[in-house]
Structure 1
Amino acid sequence: MTVKHLLACCVLALVVMLPAQADALGQQLATQAAMDALFSMSQVQPEGSERVEPPKGFGGAEADEEELIQYLAAQKRLGADLNAYGHLGTPLHHAIRSGLHDTARWLLKNGANPQLRVQGDGAQGSSPGPDAWGVAVSVSAWKLLDDMRRLPVYKALSADDQARAVWPYALDAADKTAMLLSKRIALPGFSTLPQLADAVLLHSLCTGQPRLAQAMLGQSDAPAQPAAVRRPGQPCVGVAAPGDAGKPAVPSLPLTEWKVIEERLQWPVLPFIAMQAQTPSQVTQWLAIGLRKPWSEPVAATQFVWGAMRAAPPASLALLHAMTPASLQAGLRDPAIMTAWLKLVADWPLNDLRWALTQVDAGQLAAKLEPVMNDWSYSKAAGREAKDSKDRIARWVLLTDRLATPLSAVPSKGFLYQVPIELWSRWLALGFVVDDAEWASWLAWSDPLPFEQAWPVIAKHQPAIAQRAVEWLVAPLSVGATQDLQTKRLSYGSDTFHYDQSFLRKAKFLLAQRAQAPRPRWLAGARAGTPLEPGVAFALAQNWVRMPSAALRAQVERAPLNCQARPSAALRRRLASGNLLAAENDRSYEGDVVQLIALPGESTCGWLVAGNTSGGRQFINEESFSEGVRRLTPCTDGSANAALWNEARSAWLPVTDMPEGGLIPVRLKAGGAVVFASTEVEYGTCGGKSGGVHLPHLAPDGALQLEPLGSGHPVFDALALQCDFRALSVCLGLTDASAHPVDALAEPSLMDKVWAKEKNAFLAAMDRLDRAALIQARADGLFPGWLDEALRRTSASPSLALPEKRQRIAWVFAQRAPRPAFAQETLDVLVPWLPTEDWGPVLSALRCTNRYALDRVAEQAQAKNLTALHRRIQAALATSCSAGKQG
């Protein structure tokens, strides 16, 4: 074949390819326009989601359903995919959910697949997301469900598949399951769909539907006694208790039917229907109609207690009083029932609470005190926010009356914050022991009012605690050696705080009470600034702390890097390979920094690579098809990861206890070992994390361990006198808290500095398009910044023709490990000249990782009338990054 023939073939192939590519782009844009039109309708927009702008030619919130159908039909003619996913569902799913049933019928006639499932939103903890029939059931779209059941695709389903499609999505409401039964929809079989069959049977019993129960039990494969009904524990998990006391869920019990079911089950039915009771009179009626009382059957009696506790409060008490005392107390021996019982009764009327507590064995109560204290502290009537303080105390008195000595084995965590101070003396007299750590923290951080209220109890019952109260109170201000473990723990450090107004009031109170003064230690540097806070000045005036001299506040200096850096070829290759740090919980480590550090006993510098996950305010969209988007903005801690290069093993070894902040080598001016100060980390509106001090150790395998130091270590104490740990970077002379400017550099800067000669050789090879040299450079290790610079350098070259530029750009784009960084300045120089068909690698790299950059490129393309490029970018942005998520 001649060159002329080859050129002709290439041109022909291009002519064939471009229309196909244009069709694909048009289909993507039509699909996105259809989805945008659907979600711009106010009734379709998921609750909590961002408002979608309607596409050109569609009225959005102003449009009606007929206009929507017309617009969807127009986009279908342009190739729109009517089965595309957005907000976890297809257009058919969303049309059914939002009540646009004419739209749903149109979609079904125009290619929408009713068997596609919603992403997520399963039912009963095991079923997958619903298909179109399941969505119709979940929103009670019964007429539409009837229409869809006439579809050939539904009729072709087996009975099991029909049952699987609808029953799981009706189990949240009795009226839905009753409707399915009335429509004679296939029931789940016990032999083919055992879990679903059990769930429907229990639902029928727990919601008081004897006809559904009889239908399930009447199936040929129904077991003589289903295991689900005799399973110990809560019998009606997942079934909502009735909430409207004025409208009983089960207005009357058809005696004959329930007796037939009871005989068929060979098991009492009262444990299942108990939770539906609304009034004491209804309970009396139910207990008198001849159903089997389960008092003498341990498992059924336990089931009954669970059901009774879930009934409306007046009915609940009537049900529980109906039990024999022995059967009730036997049920309460179940640890799970005991915990739930003690939580439930906290809000009962006082007389009923007294009765409920007498049903509990004192030993069992003592064993449950830790969860009881926590549950009661948050209850409506006994909790810290209770409106009636006298009634609250009366409840805790009833609980206290049931306690028996000794209580020494009960965990004390929470006691000081949960149990009313008025009852502390009684609990302590019963032998309740509060750990020193709990006392110390409470005295240091409690509010002044409860502090003053509790002091007489502490002074009388805990004199050893009272003697150390001032010492613990001033510990967060203090630096220096101490023998008291709690004083040392509370001393100034990276996780201490000082609230001066609260501190001052408590300090004056203790002085008035003639509390024992501590042996004064040095005032921390963070509190020694001018003007002094009033509380700090008060502590100094009482000689509870001492002001350190200027010499004591200048003992620490930054340590020089006394080692030799020896970068190797193996190190370059590993740095270039990327993925140096493993991520935890799918969170990526950001801002990789490579740092030269001096290692204990080594003359050669160590190469440390470190990265952080972002902490602070997180913006999380939890999306559910049925409930919409829930926007969460929690404050989270970041985390750090680091590795040390081991030349002998050509491997990165993980660093133990790597702090988040940058590492600054420091030492005492008087001499001694070099340690690392870690700089503070800011979390924006979520506060921040103070810096710290870390002692490096080398493990036998060469890995680096950074031991956190605390109060009592000479360097730690000296630095605490000199610096505010919330601003260590400034104190040690840095303007950037994230890195040391001398021996820690962001990756691009370090690569350019250490391998400057190799970088220049690579760029020269790119200028010449010396493929052999480029291949060797790739084998030796290339970095994203170098590749970006090659792109910019090629774009700016006045001597290269367009085909020559495209050849070089194509070589760079072909690199995958690493790929170019595609910095914004690089993209900006490519937009004016790089042909549309060459942008594929850029779109692939950035479509799901940096959509902002692509938006900017699209704006530039539109401004420069680069229509083809603009359409291609828009199509890429319209494509979902993963199944079930809008792109």
Structure 2
Amino acid sequence: MRRLFSRALFVVVVLCSAQAYADEKDSQGTTDAFSALLSMPQAQPEGDGEWQVFAPEDFKATDEAGLIEYLSHQNADMQQVAFHGTLLQHAVRANMKDVAMWLISQGADPLATVAGFSRDPDSLGLAIYMGHWSIVDALLALPVYQQLSGQQRTDRYLVQNPAALDELLARHFAAPTGKLGSCMLNYELERGAVQQALEVDSRQLPAPGELDRYGNCQSVQPAEDQSVRGSFKTVDLAAWKKLDSQMQLPIFGYLLQTLASADDVKALFASDLRRPEQSEELTELLLPWMVARPRTLNGIDPAPLPFDARKALAEHLPTTILNHWLADSNHLYNWLAIAASGSVEEFSWALALVPDEILTAESASAAQAGLQGVRSIEQRLMIWSALLQRRALRLDVQRVPQLLYAVPISLWAELFKHGYRIENTLATERTENSNHPDEIRDWLVRPVAELQQSWPLMTEQVPDLANNIIEKLIRPFGRKPFTCTNNSDSPQALQIASLNTLIQLGAVVHPLSFPKACVLNTAPHVYAQLLALGVVAPVADVASAARFVFEPVKCNFLPSDGWLKSLLAPGEEEDSRQLHFETVQLLDVPESDNCAMVVSGFWDMVGSADNDDFIGGYERMNPCFERLEVTESRMERNGAIEALRFDGGASAGLLGLRDTQEGTRYYLAYRESGDRCSGGLAPHLLAWTKSAPYYLKEVSAYAPVAQALQAQCDLQGDLSACLGAVDNSRDGNSTTWDAPQDVEGFIYRTFTVQRDDYLGAIQSFDLVKLYHWGQNPVPPKWILAAIDAISHASLPVPEKRRRIAWLFKNPAQLKVALEKRESDDVILDLADWLPRKDWRPLITALHVESTPSNIEPWSTLASEAQSNNDPKAACQFLTVAGLPCH
């Protein structure tokens, strides 16, 4: 670092995952205080998360008394935040009562909230949430909490731990009322907690249907564990009647969720509890329970009421109303799906209540329901037997799911009689949408006995099955054309038995071309059997070992403004993904001396998916988000850049080849390594289309030219030795200008004329040229170079300010430039001459809502501003760094 300020006045400490905190007292003392507290065993985060915090060398304590003794010498800032909490909040989380109360005596604020944590609790709310009742009692004795009434305590803190109502009432909290009371009543009833339900002040409770499940009750969430849910008991009727007498509306609707049997339903309806007087109102209460318990307050679908209870409730519904309700596709689906997950008796009962006209109109929903929750072949057989006995079921309509995998083969004949059809995917080249369901593919992996049993039905449904099924089995499907990249996606021994069976059943054998890569990656005995059966043709031995030779790029590249603009254009955004192009390579293109360009990039998820919170600590999740590669070929025509996307990755680099036999030029895409989320890409050939508009297209692995290349070279091996080429991949050692390069580096090295023009316009303040550059994107490194040049220019300060003001006009471009690692010294140099009032655009551009990855140089600037008695400027710099400002 070429500049050092008086950083003793202001030190930024970064702990673990770039979680930083600043200190106005003794910053080292604050650092050591956090390190000591968080190194204690009881202060470790819950679950699998961790904070890699190490105890200070001089900290040897093993209990709270020793920790307090150590903290008393640190002069730590009690309001600072590290790992999402203050020292006090971490002490409360760790159930360190003595430490917590000592910290409060030293100035820690118990009312400070844990930002970003559920419902932003203060110290009392956090202690209630954690169930640390000794700390709760100690905090309640403080004047700041003593001044709250019992009702204020309940309204503010009950939501932190609804299950602890008894504990809170014992500490003179008031019974919950209003909407909170309704939520609590629902909560206690779902737990079957009769006495706790009676403790709710129920005089002014809204009806259960009036609660906003996604708003008012979001903070009071019933248990998801079905084992803790309560059930209706007739012995509690007296208690329910007492509660009912206190309520403005009947408790009847609340009790429906506790019913567990037909006897419960009978007892509830026989009781003298109030219920809705109008049949329509009663129907509205009962209908939701016919499919499941209504969605819980946290949006989780719990288990449905037991079959006997639902069957008994249905007896209280008029048939006309039930039929009208079942006519809704969602209701019908839920009705049958829940029954399908139960017994056959339950499904038969539910299906019998569906009229023919509704079943015909909603056959797709009924078929979907028949696939849900079925746990055994026997159950599946009985459920689909019941469905297929209904002639009203129509399976030749839209939205019918694929059924062969779920319906037993013994029922396929009936399935086809109801109109079900198999999609013929025999001739489908599955390269673009490999995840599309394929019933023929799934059928092929069935046991031999099932293939024999279903062959007559399959050939009847798919007339050309016998003529094409061998190719469907042998050729890897659902993958890219360049196949057999390893043993796992090459033909396996298990397929030989299926091949023999299919041939015996009448499948026609056509010798198939077999890429050399498949030969190399197929077990020798398997390949020998494939040859013996005649299903693959022998790989021809290519005599000319030098048919394909390396050919370097010979085109001319003119770094025009159009090319520059196309490389700087922002990537597409789609939902939570953003497209970033990372590499660029230049290629020869037919009928032109000028180069074409290939750019490659990926869709990246916006934001981090790692877990990092106050309770669980930091946990690296490494999710397998969809990181699809996007590759474009770009050409300049009449000053405009035309871009076309093509299949097959090119981010690892392309190697130019000449086919000396045909005279055609090809490009070999280097192998791309996979990771835990992707299998990568095998080497594959690309070629320009034969006529304009030209674009790159992947060559099938089964094309003769691809076969010949595989015969000449081991595409998984050393291509340089085989083709006499320098390794032109991104990871290779090529120094040629047309090798794949990082986009940003390519721009900086190639567009020197434009860069000099831009920097010259800034230096001379040429308004005509500056207007031109103001209308176009500018590379981030050029902006940094311009700022640096102004700082070191021999110009009066007013002239420097004019130029800097122009550079600060585009906040988006300025932000990207100043977030580069190279920007630290550039920003620090501005502090030598740029007045503080001119920093506002820069501060605005770099405003962040969370701690950035690099705190410098903002902490240094804040330190300098504090030294110069400029607290306002210091606060601005701290804000940019994502640090607290007091």
The DSSP-based 3-state class of the residue aligned with 2:102 is helix
Question: AA paired with 1:424?
Answer: W
In the other structure, the counterpart of 1:63 is: 62
Count of residue pairs the alignment pairs up: 759
State the distance in 1 between where 2:601 and 2:747 align.
17
Residue 305 in 1 paired to residue 311 in 2? no
- Distance between the aligned counterparts of 2:694 and 2:146, measured in 1? 66
Q: In the alignment, residue 640 of structure 1 is paired with which amino acid?
A: E
For residues 81-113 of structure 1, what are the alpha-carbon distances to aligned partners after superposition, in whole Å with 9 as ceiling and x for unaligned?
444141x44343333333323333333333333
What is the Cα-based RMSD across aligned positions, in Å?
6.0
Structure 2 CA distance for partners of 1:706 and 1:757, relative to 1, 3 Å: closer
Contact 2:851 2:882 in 1 (8 A): no
Name the SS for the 1:594 alignment partner: strand
Residue aligned with 1:458, SS: helix
Change in 2 beyond 3 A, CA 1:103/1:460:
same
Change in CA separation of 1:326 and 1:280 when aligned onto 2, cut-off 3 Å: closer
Q: Distance in 2 between matches of 1:206 and 1:374?
A: 30
Given the alignment of the two structures, is residue 40 of structure 1 paired with residue 47 of structure 2, yes or no?
A: no
TM-fit CA distance, 1:574: 8.9
Contact 2:596 2:633 in 1 (8 A): yes
**Separation (CA, whole Å) in 2 of partners of 1:141 and 1:542:** 73
Match of 1:719 among 706, 710, 720: 706
Offset of 1:248 from its aligned partner?
A: 5.2
- Partner residue in 2 for 1:505: 497
Report the equivalent of 2:210: 228
Aligned to 1:860: none
* Amino acid in structure 2 at the alignment position of 1:92: L
Letter in 2 for 1:719: A
Equivalence for 1:140: 131
Q: For 1:396-475, what aligned pairs fall within 5 Å after superposition?
A: 396-401=384-389, 404-409=392-397, 411=399, 413-437=401-425, 441-444=438-441, 448-450=445-447, 452-460=449-457, 462-463=459-460, 465=462, 467-469=464-466, 471-475=468-472
Structure 2 residue 86 is the aligned partner of structure 1 residue 90: yes
The answer to whether the 8 Å contact 1:406/1:431 transfers is: yes
In the superposition, relative to structure 1, how do residues 43 and 336 fare at CA in structure 2: closer, same or farther (>3 Å)? farther
In the alignment, which residue of structure 2 is the partner of 1:20?
Answer: 9
Give the number of the structure whose residues are more often helix, by fraction. 1
TM-score (norm 1): 0.67
Structure 2 CA distance for partners of 1:74 and 1:447, relative to 1, 3 Å: farther
Q: Aligned residue for 1:656?
A: 645
Please name the residue that 2:352 is paired with. 358
Q: Per-residue displacement from partner, 1:32-74 (whole Å, max 9, x unpaired)?
A: 33233233222221121236454225768x8223223333333
What is the distance in 1 between the residues matched to 2:378 and 2:565?
73
- Post-superposition offset of 1:759: 11
Contact 1:554/1:722 (<8 A) preserved: no
**Which residue in 2 is equivalent to 1:861?**
none
Secondary structure at the counterpart of residue 144 of structure 1? helix
Query: 8 Å contact 1:611–1:641 — kept in the other structure?
Result: yes
SS of 2:513's equivalent in the other structure is strand
Q: Does the Cα contact within 8 Å between 1:121 and 1:129 map onto a contact in 2?
A: yes
Gaps of 5+ in 2: 12-21, 296-300, 429-437, 789-807, 809-813, 833-841, 858-877
- How many angstroms apart in 2 are the aligned matches of 1:211 and 1:749? 68
Contact 2:644–2:695 (CA under 8 A) maintained in structure 1: yes
Alignment of 1:475-874 (within 5 A): 475=472, 492-493=481-482, 497-518=489-510, 520-529=511-520, 533-547=524-538, 549=540, 550=542, 561=553, 563-568=555-560, 581=571, 592-599=582-589, 602-612=592-602, 621-626=610-615, 632-641=621-630, 656-657=645-646, 659-662=648-651, 664=654, 678-686=669-677, 687-690=679-682, 709=698, 718-719=705-706, 722-723=709-710, 727=716, 730=719, 735=727, 737-738=729-730, 742-746=738-742, 750=746, 754=750, 818=817
Cα displacement string for residues 174-219 of structure 1 (whole angstroms, at most 9, x for unaligned residues): xx245445656467776xxx6x566446445655668768955535
1:137–1:145 contact (8 Å) kept in structure 2:
yes
The Cα shift of 1:402 comes to 5.0
Q: Does the CA-based 8 Å contact 2:393-2:418 persist in structure 1? A: yes
Could you tell me whether the CA contact under 8 Å between 1:458 and 1:465 is conserved in 2? no
Q: Judging changes above 3 Å, is the alpha-carbon distance between structure 1 residues 351 and 430 closer, same or farther for their aligned structure 2 residues?
A: same
Determine what percentage of the aligned residue pairs are the same residue: 18
CA deviations over 1:499-550 (Å, ceiling 9, x no partner): 42232221122123232334x4422343244877444443433333334543
Partner of 1:275: 257
Instruction: State the partner residue of 2:203.
Output: 218
Q: State the alpha-carbon separation in 1 of the partners of residues 144 and 629 from structure 2.
A: 54
Instruction: Give the direction of change, closer, same or farther, for the CA distance of 1:161–1:682 in structure 2 (3 Å limit).
Output: farther
CA distance in 1, matches of 2:356, 2:714: 49
Alpha-carbon offset, residue 120 of structure 1 = 3.8
For the Cα contact (< 8 Å) 1:522–1:545, is it kept in 2? yes
Q: 1:599 to 1:312 in 2, by over 3 A?
A: closer
Checking the alignment, whether the CA contact within 8 Å between 1:280 and 1:318 is kept in structure 2 is yes
Matches of 1:363 and 1:493, distance apart in 2 = 51
**2:231 matches 1:253:** no
Q: 1:239 aligns with which of 206, 215, 222?
A: 222
Structure 1 738/21 Cα, relative in aligned 2: closer, same or farther at 3 Å? closer
Matched AA of 2:409: I
For 1:358, give the aligned amino acid. A
State the partner residue of 2:792. none
Q: Which amino acid aligns with 2:627?
A: G
In structure 2, do the counterparts of structure 1 residues 426 and 609 end up closer, same or farther at CA, with 3 Å as the change threshold? closer
Look up the equivalent residue of 1:50 and give its one-letter code: E
Per the alignment, do residues 625 and 759 of structure 1 end up closer, same or farther by CA in structure 2, a change over 3 Å counting? closer
Instruction: Please list the CA deviations of residues 580-637 of structure 1 after superposition, one character each: whole Å capped at 9, or x if unmatched.
Output: 656767778789323223456544224554434689xx99632454555665344444
Distance 2:212 2:815 in 1: 60
Are the counterparts in 2 of residues 678 and 694 from structure 1 also a CA contact under 8 Å? Answer: yes
* CA shift in 2, pair 1:658/1:158, >3 Å: farther
The 1:744–1:419 alpha-carbon spacing in structure 2 relative to 1, beyond 3 Å, is same
Q: Which residue matches 1:169?
A: 160
Cα offset, 1:561, TM superposition: 3.6
